Amino acid sequence: MRTQVAIIGAGPAGLLLSHLLHLNGIESIVLESRSQAEIEATIRAGVLEQGTMDILSNAGVGARMQAEGALHHGIELAFGGQRHRIDLTELTGKAITVYPQHEVIKDLVAARLAAQGQLLFEVSGVELHGVDTAAPSVGFIHRGEAGRIEADFVIGCDGYHGVTRPAMPGEGRQDFKRDYGFGWFGVLVESAPSSEELIYARHERGFALVSTRTPTVQRLYFQCDPADHVDNWSDDRIWAELHARLENNDGWRVNEGRIFQKNIIGMRSFVSTPMQSGRLFLAGDAAHIVPPTGAKGMNLAVSDVALLAQGLEQFYRQGSDERLQGYTTAALKRVWRAEYFSWWMTSLLHTFADATPFQREVQRAELECVVSSRAMATALAESYVGAF
């Protein structure tokens, strides 16, 4: 098989890149280890910045997002028994849309199939060859048969545990890591929304988050031990913990309902640089991870592939690789700002086992400064909506 760009991974990054390239007349083939049903059913958060919404809409895949996504003009910070609203739109002129990642994937898969794009699902044994040459290739097994793609470029959009980052040359590479020592226990609940906007809550028992997926589904999280197991948490225990952490002096309570999904996710920060070597480029979680507190994961992936699409367009239309050569520098400028913001939000709102009484009081004081200072609230809002 021959194509211009081989893309490993059919998450939002890989699918969107393939579609952006298609719109510019550039051929691609996408390889994915999971089935189409699996990627469309994998529940992930979906806080979309205005820039992300614009890219999806301009690519012709934003109609359902605009019709079904929930436009949010603010968020709330809860601590000390009170809730404080950060007015994102008033402070920045921008808003965010809550639209789950798996719905974005459905829209992108539909667009690629409608354009007769080549998507190969349930692929195994992926191996990269010659990425340091002008003629890289990818070997794989699909439906029991060995295959090979010859391409001009290989793009790794296969996540933290994928095969593309390990294929990067070791010399000159640097990985930056931070393990926070706690996780998020997430539940999906059949109920009416508890709040029109997201609520980020700090409590002595740990962080909690209230989010809405649809008019009938809530996504709720609370800080937990990452080594814990969902079987240790009955529904009654979960609701007791959420009520305790989200209690409010005005009598507000989170709406209960049938819990139909439980999972635990770890909290870590990770950046691998450079994000390119020869004809191999990394995008999204293959190159960087942010804790979900800052709601930046999918937005960073979209930003990465937008840069790559521009670089590849320049290469094929103008014969210049200037943008491709500058990809790592351009991408990391955005990545590190998002890493900082996600680390700051995580540090601001979570409890830390080794925190001293002094540190806990400083954390509380910082929250009070954020909600009482327009300058600090604006800084939070600008980072949250991606206005930088």
Task: Given the residues 106, 288, 296, 350, select the one marked as catalytic.
Answer: 296
DSSP letter string, 269-300: EEEEE-SEETTEEE-GGGTEE--GGG--HHHH
Residues 6+ away with beta carbon under 8 Å from 233: 185, 262
Global confidence as pTM: 0.94
Question: Which tens digit of pLDDT belongs to each residue from 291-340?
Answer: 999 999 999 999 999 999 999 999 999 999 999 999 999 999 999 999 99
* Dist CA 331 CA 309 (whole Å): 12
Catalytic pick from 200, 274, 327, 350?
200
Task: State the CATH architecture for 5-72+97-176+268-344.
Answer: 3-Layer(bba) Sandwich (3.50)
Position with higher pLDDT, 172 vs 373: 373
Give pLDDT, residue 215.
Answer: 86
- Report helix, strand or coil for 214: strand
What average pLDDT does the segment 208-233 reach? 93
pLDDT score for 386: 93
CATH 3.30.9.10 positions along the chain are: 181-267+351-385
Q: Which residues contact 354 (CB under 8 A, 6 or more apart)?
A: none
Catalytic choice (100, 106, 292, 327): 292
Does 200 qualify as catalytic in the annotation?
Answer: yes
CATH 3.50.50.60 in the chain, residues?
A: 5-72+97-176+268-344
Q: Does 72 qualify as catalytic in the annotation?
A: yes
Of residues 88, 16, 87, the one with CA closest to residue 52: 16
* Confidence class for position 169, pLDDT limits 50, 70, 90: confident
Choice among 12, 19, 22, 72 that is catalytic:
72
User: pLDDT confidence of 41, banded at 50, 70, 90?
Assistant: confident
**Chain centroid to CA 254: how far?**
25
> What pairing do the DSSP bridges indicate for beta strands 153-156 and 5-8?
parallel
Q: Does domain 181-267+351-385 have CATH number 1.20.120.1760?
A: no
221 is catalytic: no
Is 50 a residue whose pLDDT tops 80?
A: yes
In this predicted structure, what is the pLDDT of residue 212? Answer: 83
Tell me the pLDDT tens digit for each residue of 72-116.
999 999 999 999 999 999 999 999 999 989 999 999 999 999 999
